Amino acid sequence: MAASTGPVLAAGAITAANELLFGGGKFNWRIVPATAGLALALGALERIAPSFAVGLGWLCVATVLIVPVGGAPTPIENAVKALGYAK
């Protein structure tokens, strides 16, 4: 398994869980092939530029946490609301 696959799978899992829990209770099946395709693409890129591919994987995780993807708010926004820091 490539070093960039872990962060990509984590980003896909965070997105899927966020959509399932806070996006109306429906599972967005398009996340699975998108995550698999990105993992394969970064795995191929890792043969050419390993540190760049791993950095893109971690940038994907940061993006998923900050930018709203799909119909649910971001995981950071949901955590802030759950902890009672937002109205």
DSSP 42-68: HHHHHHH-HHHHHHHHHHHHHHHHHS-
Kindly report the pTM of this predicted structure.
0.90
pLDDT grade, residue 6 (50/70/90)?
A: very high
In this predicted structure, the answer to whether residue 27 has a pLDDT above a threshold of 90 is no
* pLDDT the model gives residue 69: 85
Q: What is the pLDDT of residues 34-65, one digit of tens each?
A: 999 999 999 999 999 999 999 999 999 999 99
The mean per-residue pLDDT over the stretch 9-28 comes to 91
Task: Find the angle CA(10)-CA(55)-CA(38) to the nearest 5 degrees.
Answer: 50
The residue type at 21: L
